[in-house]
Amino acid sequence: MHFFFNFNEDIPEQFYSEQDKQPHSECSVCGNGFGNGHYFVEKAFQRTHDKSSYELTFEYAICERCKSDMMQSISKESMKHIQEFAMKMGGMPVPENSNDVEIDLKQYLTTCIATGKSIDELEEYHLVGIFRGNKMVQLPMLYGETFIEEYSELLSEETKGFFDDFFNNITLLPPTLAKILEDEKPRRPVFI
């Protein structure tokens, strides 16, 4: 991942909690506030049946400590596959220095970093961001379905089982959506 040490932007609304339309304020796993630490937000969207818009399928915010616990739960085999995959992908071309170049944030929020496809062309996407306090401290990342599927295939059964448990424990859903998904839990990997 490319790191910008000076990246410091207001949190885009796309990352707000669906429930209260505010930035996330506590970890979805341990329930603690984020304090001065970094935290990560992932939101997953799927195109609605009539194709007119997108609906949230899940979202969560996670603190650094819970994230590192989570990484340890991912099997060694999966981790190796993920690292090889990330190397192969090479990531999104980014400017050398964020101070020199005007970053088009909107583009990062609407374009798959793996395929360059705009969300208009996607059936499904995940949006991932890293934050501290009320600021976004890295460029956001958007992954479309091609990436999600390839990534999902890399994971061992053990790791997939872990993700299923993770969803059962922390998935935050608007109540109406939770009902719809009760029988059909998202079988999706998470990216953070």
Q: Which residues contribute to the site for Zn ion (CB under 5 A)?
A: 27, 29-30, 63, 66
Nearest-approach distance from CB 58 to Zn ion, in angstroms: 17
Q: Which CB sits closer to Zn ion, 129 or 144?
A: 129
Residue 159: strand, helix, or coil: helix
Two tokens at 33? 């506030």
Based on CB atoms, which residue is closest to Zn ion, 1 or 30?
A: 30
Structure tokens at 107: 């583009």
Query: Do residues 78 and 158 lie in contact, with contact meaning Cβ atoms separated by under 8 Å?
Result: yes
**Nearer to Zn ion (CB atom), residue 70 or residue 148:** 70
Tell me how many degrees the CA angle 99-34-170 measures, rounded to the nearest 5.
Answer: 115
Q: How far is the CB of 130 from Zn ion (least distance, A)?
A: 14
Which of 66/114 has CB closer to Zn ion? 66
Minimum CB–partner distance for residue 33 and Zn ion (Å): 10
Q: Do 152 and 188 contact (CB within 8 A), yes or no? A: yes
With 0-12 CB in 10 A as exposed, 13-18 as middle and 19+ as buried, what is 37? middle
- Smallest distance from the beta carbon of 68 to Zn ion, in angstroms? 10
Whether 144 and 117 have beta carbons less than 8 Å apart is answered as yes
